Structure 1
Amino acid sequence: MVIFISFSANAQEDIPTKENKSNKGKLYAFWGWNRGWYSDSDIRFTGENYDFTLFNVSATDRQSKVRYETYFKPTRITIPQTNLRIGYFISDKYDISIGVDHMKYVMNSIQDVKINGYIHDGGAYNEDYTNDDFHIEKKFLRFEHTDGLNYLNMEITRNDDLMDLLKWQLNPNKIQINTLLGFGGGVLMPKSNVTLWNTTRYDEFHFAGYGFAGKIGLNFTFYKYFFLRAEYKGGFIDMPDIRTSSDSKDRASQHFFFTELVTAFGFVFPLF
């Protein structure tokens, strides 16, 4: 009888209650890292004596080697591809948040593409092009958003209790598991590293366009205040105004689809 009563008490302790599972009014923040993938894109370059488009240009992200100094040393933590987000629960199921997805975009420096347009500077690439085959090489173009394909965005996210959906009876003061479904949009402020054949390296922050994305994910909260999170995002980026040199006449434009895998850790607590 004593054993039965003891077991029943422990089981009862594991049953979630509405009160200790409430999210409304909580504030959260997380820091994490991402991996990105990008669709091929057409990139148009314009300047005083050139206007040409490179078609179906491929690019990758740039992952930093996993080292303590790179990922956790305060003076170097922005070197990898990172994510910072702060959010507030407007209800038990919905939160709104602002954040920065610090991705990196690197055009493959050697590839074969099509080119259309003209270059009239009297140099090695001086020519009129009509959908011609063209070999991109390092001395012709370096095109990267490596100091940040910075996506500054706002999101709204729905949080559903997976334990309720699966009828699991666990103590929410020890662990909560939530599914995430969200959507957001924002602006792109890349720090683009661009070198054209006839210009010097340019690398400055500039508002270049906009983006939007949807996401799904899982959030694991431990002992009410600490959580681990995984998100998978998919979206679209359009940058019609990329600076390519110190001369304001030199510009580029591109748009592409992207996917992003985010892993993060953070804290959540009642604001009041």
Structure 2
Amino acid sequence: MTEALVRCDVAERVAVVEMNRPSALNALSDGLLAALTGTLTALAADPAVRVVVLKGAGKAFCAGHDLKEMQAGRAAPDGGAAYFADLFTRCGALMQLIPAMPQPVIAQVQGIATAAGCQLVASCDMAVAAEDTRFGVNGVNIGLFCSTPMVALSRNIPRKQAFEMLTTGEFIPAERARDLGLINRIAPPDGLEAETMTLAQTVAGKLGAAVRIGKRAFYEQAGMPLDRAYDYTRDVMVENMLLRDTDEGITAFIEKRKPDWA
């Protein structure tokens, strides 16, 4: 019996999604891309899930695209042009799905996160990494500039640092990734899961409706001019204030008690 490419476990309002191609360092094959997209799409529609943790099985988080599958695509009469366009479209759709999900998505990263794997980390809302993890967009080393990973990376870290990573293909360690803003926290390898779950449970303990509203607004306002961003977030704050549970949360704070949230 073939093991699932993606495993998903939900407990205490947190969904843990595991990419399960450890022998291939969780490279994003066509099958894994489809399974991951399907799993995250289903979770996005589940109101019982407050936070999603994304991790990789085995010794690596994700080594990027499956190069053997990509090379096989060259056998087509067009040299693989249609396949490559479709592949990068599907991968781009996955990367856009993550910030569009109503739940915060936390990457739990170990080993390496390279090329599209680094893109995956950059696409998540937050990330926790083991202290010995290495990050890179190293396609340039084999003659393929990481143009699609560049989109997420350049929206996470300073432009000159992103350009250096893209043009040198050099890896950066977890500490440097944290300093640049690619990840949030670092943990010892044996404490990675605990550190990630601490963050996940902290977020899951907040009012879910408020976090959903806030995540949507976070990404929407980021691309707006300053005056429009303030007009937009004003309306978001009004929407949030009118929630029954927000009224209860403020009242409970004033009365020095725990809120009775539905």
For Structure 1 versus Structure 2, the TM-score category normalised by the shorter chain is under 0.3
TM-score by length of 1: 0.20
- Higher Rg of the two aligned structures: 1
**Which of structures 1 and 2 has the larger relative contact order (alpha carbons within 8 angstroms, sep 6+)?**
1
TM-score by length of 2: 0.20
